[in-house]
Amino acid sequence: MKRRHILAALLASVSLAGAAQACERTLRSSDTHPDGYPTVEAVKAMGKILEEKTGGKLCIEVFHSAQLGQEKDTIEQTQFGVIDMNRVSLGPFNNMIPETQIPSLPYIFRSTEHMHKVMDGPIGEEILAAFSDHDLVGLAFYDAGSRSFYNSQKPINSMADLSGMKFRVMQSDLFVDMVGALGANATPMPYGEVYSSIQTGVIDGAENNYPSYESSGHFEVAKYLTLDQHLIVPEILAMSKKTYDSLSADEQAAVRAAAKESVLVMRDLWAAREKASEDKVRAAGVEVITDIDKTPFIEAMVPVYQKYVTSDKLKSLVERIQATK
Ligand code: BDP
């Protein structure tokens, strides 16, 4: 039995070495989510497409489960070229790249279809291009469903119920103000600290989509979910500019095309996972409040828009998004 294990381990290492050798260069990509999560699988799919397009020259290895660090740190490392690629929410870019604040505005998108229409078109390209001033190359947007509040204390049936409660948000001033405008208190912190912070009562809850709420285990410690759907923030797949500049023009084109192709893979995986995650948390006894009047939430966001949508450029982005049918 023991010898079999050793043999299996040996064979695995040989085949791993074989796979690595087949590629001239393996790009390292970071993701906070666990193996099997749609974003992780989509970047793996991109890797396969890229390997094919470059005749085996370029591959991607996805370091999932925050192996390379929490998002803010991995973003910096990607800017420095220590990490080649990163799949992150747009949220942690908000304080650095003003354009990313616009698709991160609460209730800016009417639906996921509306978000797709906007981000697949010229507005999406404009926002991707904004990354190039920050040592990054924006490659594609991925889905992240809609984000809603969950907590350990009580069912939230109206905006008034949020009053005085403490919620974790991503590290973005915009989200701190969003929660404040709803009458609650926001605590920005890395994703990896949320579970224990809810468990120990440092915060009452957080906000996220079904797949993250489920895969992070947050549903185990925060059993009340209210589908107010305040955010539909897309995710970004970005490459370090240093890495990108080190590629030939053909390879750069292959990277861009492979990233775009992986978006379609991602959308299928996402739809299936959203449903599976919802089923899992409901089966675990989570109380899901679906009947919630969003009008007061939307109205409360006026000062947030006023604070963040300041320049002509940002105003025009908002107007164009709202005018997209
Ligand atoms: C998830 C995003 C992930 C973020 C996380 C968060 O996919 O990139 O790190 O939310 O709330 O939905 O920090």
Q: How far is the CA of 81 from the centre of ligand 1 (A)?
A: 22
179 in the same domain as 80: no
Looking up tokens 């989570």 gives 286
Q: Whose CA is nearest to atom 7 of ligand 1?
A: 89
Q: Which atom of ligand 1 is nearest to the CA of 71?
A: 9
153 in the same domain as 84: no
290 in the same domain as 205: yes
Q: Alpha-carbon distance 31 to 291, whole Å?
A: 33
Phi-psi region of 132 (alpha: psi -120 to 50; beta: other; left: phi over 0): alpha
Q: Whose CA is nearest to atom 5 of ligand 1?
A: 191
Q: Whose CA is nearest to atom 6 of ligand 1?
A: 191
Q: Which atom of ligand 1 is nearest to the CA of 208?
A: 12
179 in the same domain as 74: no
pLDDT, position 46 = 98
Q: Whose CA is nearest to atom 13 of ligand 1?
A: 191
- Among 75, 78, 89, 150, the mutation site with the greatest number of ligand 1 atoms within 8 A of its Cβ is 89
Q: Alpha-carbon distance 205 to 129, whole Å?
A: 34
310 in the same domain as 226: yes
pLDDT, position 22 = 76
309 in the same domain as 240: no
- CATH number of domain containing 300: 3.40.190.170
269 in the same domain as 211: no
71 CB within 6 A, ligand 1: yes
247 in the same domain as 313: no
Q: Which atom of ligand 1 is nearest to the CA of 169?
A: 11
204 in the same domain as 98: no
208 CB within 6 A, ligand 1: yes
Its pTM surpasses 0.75: yes
Q: How far is the CA of 149 from the centre of ligand 1 (A)?
A: 14
Q: How far is the CA of 94 from the centre of ligand 1 (A)?
A: 13
Q: Which atom of ligand 1 is nearest to the CA of 170?
A: 13
Q: Alpha-carbon distance 257 to 140, whole Å?
A: 10
Structural domain total, the chain? 2
Cβ 149 vs Cβ 226: under 8 Å: yes
144 CB within 6 A, ligand 1: yes
32 CB within 6 A, ligand 1: yes
170 CB within 6 A, ligand 1: yes
Q: Alpha-carbon distance 241 to 239, whole Å?
A: 6
61 in the same domain as 135: yes
pLDDT, position 10 = 42
How would you write the pLDDT of the chain (325 residues) with one tens digit per residue? 344 444 444 444 444 444 445 799 999 999 999 999 999 999 999 999 999 999 999 999 999 999 999 999 999 999 999 999 999 999 999 999 999 999 999 999 999 999 999 999 999 999 999 999 999 999 999 999 999 999 999 999 999 999 999 999 999 999 999 999 999 999 999 999 999 999 999 999 999 999 999 999 999 999 999 999 999 999 999 999 999 999 999 999 999 999 999 999 999 999 999 999 999 999 999 999 999 999 999 999 999 999 999 999 999 999 999 999 9
240 in the same domain as 214: no
Q: How far is the CA of 109 from the centre of ligand 1 (A)?
A: 18
The CA-CA-CA angle for residues 76, 31, 117, to 5°, reads 95
Q: How far is the CA of 67 from the centre of ligand 1 (A)?
A: 15
Structure tokens at 39: 């974003």
Question: What order do you get walking across the sheet with 287-289 strand by strand?
Answer: 185-188, 166-169, 205-208, 147-151, 224-231, 287-289
235 CB within 6 A, ligand 1: yes
Q: Whose CA is nearest to atom 9 of ligand 1?
A: 191
Q: Alpha-carbon distance 230 to 216, whole Å?
A: 20
262 CB within 6 A, ligand 1: no
Question: What is the domain range of residue 63?
Answer: 2-144+234-275
Strand 58-63, strand 224-231: pairing: unpaired
185 in the same domain as 109: no
Q: Which atom of ligand 1 is nearest to the CA of 209?
A: 12
